[in-house]
Amino acid sequence: MRPQIKIILANFFFEYETPRQVLVRNKKVAVACRIIQMGVLAYIIGWVFMYEKGYHAIDTAIGSVFTKMKGLSFTNISGKVRIWDAADFVFPEQGASSFVVMTNFIATVGQKQDKCPELQDGKNTCKTDADCDEGKYKRTGNGHMTGRCISNTSTCEIYSWCPVEDDRQIPDPPILLTSENYTLFIKNSITFRQFNVVRSNLVESVNQSYINTCLYHPKTDPLCPIFRLGDIIKFSGFDFSEIARVGGAIGLLIDWDCNLDLNIKYCIPKYEFYGLYGTGKNDKQEKPSLGYNFRYAKYYVENEVEKRTLMKVFGVRIDIIVNGRAGKFDIIPTLTAIGSGVGIFGVATVVCDLLLLYFVPKRDFYKNMKFKHTENPEEKPSLPQSESEKDLPTE
């Protein structure tokens, strides 16, 4: 091996290089540097470690929700007395995490497939049979037109479920006004797979005797899994009488934010309520299609003729959403957070260098102290004349 190569390898393996540092005695720049460093330190300790818990490994939960609605309502419509229970006013069947509680309705009883006049609502008027195209269907209509204009109603005759539904007048007050006192039971289970932790909203302090008597309240009973429908609507920011009349939607969030460095009993749910859409009562401009409603029918046979009762249901749609997040100490995210924090400390050096090199009065002096200038090796400096050459006579 050539001697030059040996020297290069020896220098590479057995010599250590360190950056050159210049100690600058400038009070203003020093104070600025310390302020920036203290700000970075406060950010690392306060935000990264204490608030964001940068020393935690994080896992999100897999959750399931089971619900059960209870309550009774009594109605007397046109002398017909009826009791309504959960099997009548909850859609779909019990147990879903998204469901509708009926609070008001418009019933069209005894419909059968026949010919009848269109609804007199000003949308489907006619003067002659020519205004009613046979076999055609208008988007605002309720059936297929027969081609005949009925003079006494000035509407087209249609083939449809007759008599047609008249939903122009929504019952006010709501028919099922006592729905305010319905109760909702929520059973929620979550799993943090990374930490092998399974939790339920029926935590250690929630036993059967407590469930039999409690009712959720954010201050007095924040862990009670039984909610009054009127309270859910109030906590979401809606007015019960108005939303019960035309319907609306509410989001119920079950939020789990667990620090698994502590005892597992401190991993508890927090319930939050959000009004998704409702009556628009507080809107400055009137909006179309306010509230929430849908239709369903109950079919039966009478005198060998198929009939139905059409129900236009107004209700409160409740969507239950589970958000689970758990953290536990882990050395890898801890070292990552520390490393990123140390890297941010370099901001102070960059800022102070900019101040020294471009803004302070003695910037040229500091540039000479910080940087070492060398000549271009390709440019050969001119040699001075020797003493003998100086003594040579000139012509």
User: What pLDDT is recorded for position 389?
Assistant: 44
Considering the domain architecture, whether residues 177 and 307 belong to the same structural domain is answered as yes
Considering the domain architecture, whether residues 211 and 314 belong to the same structural domain is answered as yes
82 within 8 A of 279, measured Cβ to Cβ: no
Query: Any known ligand binding at 145?
Result: no
149 within 8 A of 156, measured Cβ to Cβ: yes
Name which of 108, 147, 146, 107 is nearest 131 in CA terms.
147
Q: CA 137 to CA 159: how far, in whole Å?
A: 10
User: What pLDDT is recorded for position 289?
Assistant: 66
Where is the domain boundary, 273, 305, 328?
A: 328
137 within 8 A of 144, measured Cβ to Cβ: yes
For tokens 């490393």, the residue is 339
Query: Any known ligand binding at 270?
Result: no
In a domain, 152, yes or no: no
Beta strands in the chain (DSSP E): 56-60, 62-70, 73-77, 80-84, 90-91, 98-117, 144-150, 155-162, 183-192, 197-200, 226-228, 248-259, 269-277, 293-302, 305-329
122 within 8 A of 144, measured Cβ to Cβ: no
How would you classify the pairing of strands 144-150 and 183-192?
Answer: unpaired
C-alpha distance from residue 28 to each of 41, 191, 279 (Å): 20, 55, 61
In this model, does residue 310 exceed pLDDT 60? yes
Where is the domain boundary, 299, 328, 357?
A: 328
Percent pLDDT > 70 in the chain is: 87
DSSP 197-216: EEEESS-TT--HHHHHH---
In a domain, 243, yes or no: yes
In a domain, 378, yes or no: no
pLDDT band for position 115 (cuts 50, 70, 90)? very high
Considering the domain architecture, whether residues 223 and 321 belong to the same structural domain is answered as yes
Considering the domain architecture, whether residues 248 and 265 belong to the same structural domain is answered as yes
181 within 8 A of 72, measured Cβ to Cβ: no
How would you classify the pairing of strands 305-329 and 248-259?
Answer: parallel
Name which of 235, 244, 299, 238 is nearest 270 in CA terms.
235
Considering the domain architecture, whether residues 359 and 260 belong to the same structural domain is answered as no
Query: Any known ligand binding at 294?
Result: yes
In this model, does residue 350 exceed pLDDT 80? yes
In a domain, 97, yes or no: yes
In a domain, 200, yes or no: yes
* Across 235-264, average pLDDT: 93
For tokens 């059936």, the residue is 143
For tokens 């789990």, the residue is 256
Query: Any known ligand binding at 70?
Result: yes
CATH number at residue 43: 1.10.287
Residue 92 makes CB contacts below 8 A (sequence gap 6+) with 99
In this model, does residue 173 exceed pLDDT 80? yes
Q: CA 166 to CA 118: how far, in whole Å?
A: 10
Considering the domain architecture, whether residues 183 and 310 belong to the same structural domain is answered as yes
Considering the domain architecture, whether residues 342 and 366 belong to the same structural domain is answered as yes
Give strand pairing partners of 19.
none
In this model, does residue 286 exceed pLDDT 70? no
Considering the domain architecture, whether residues 67 and 85 belong to the same structural domain is answered as yes
In a domain, 204, yes or no: yes
Residue 258 makes CB contacts below 8 A (sequence gap 6+) with 192, 197, 199, 266, 267, 324, 325, 326, 327
Q: CA 229 to CA 327: how far, in whole Å?
A: 34
CATH number at residue 194: 2.60.490.10
Query: Any known ligand binding at 219?
Result: no
* Across 126-141, average pLDDT: 88
**Amino acid letter, 167:** D
Q: How many domains does the chain have?
A: 2
Q: CA 9 to CA 375: how far, in whole Å?
A: 27
Residue 314 CA to chain centroid, in angstroms?
26
Name the residue range of residue 43's domain. Answer: 24-55+330-370
In this model, does residue 189 exceed pLDDT 80? yes
Considering the domain architecture, whether residues 250 and 348 belong to the same structural domain is answered as no
Residue 140 makes CB contacts below 8 A (sequence gap 6+) with 123, 124
82 within 8 A of 226, measured Cβ to Cβ: no
Query: For 67, phi and psi rounded to 5 degrees?
Result: -125, 155
pLDDT band for position 162 (cuts 50, 70, 90)? very high
Q: Which of 82-96, 307-321, 325-339 has the highest mean pLDDT?
A: 307-321
Considering the domain architecture, whether residues 73 and 214 belong to the same structural domain is answered as yes
Ranges 215-219, 282-286, 332-336: which has the least confidence: 282-286
In a domain, 392, yes or no: no
Query: Any known ligand binding at 192?
Result: no
Considering the domain architecture, whether residues 95 and 45 belong to the same structural domain is answered as no
Ranges 50-54, 123-127, 212-216, 345-349: which has the least confidence: 345-349
Considering the domain architecture, whether residues 38 and 70 belong to the same structural domain is answered as no
Query: Any known ligand binding at 207?
Result: no
In this model, does residue 282 exceed pLDDT 60? no
Query: Any known ligand binding at 91?
Result: no
In a domain, 78, yes or no: yes
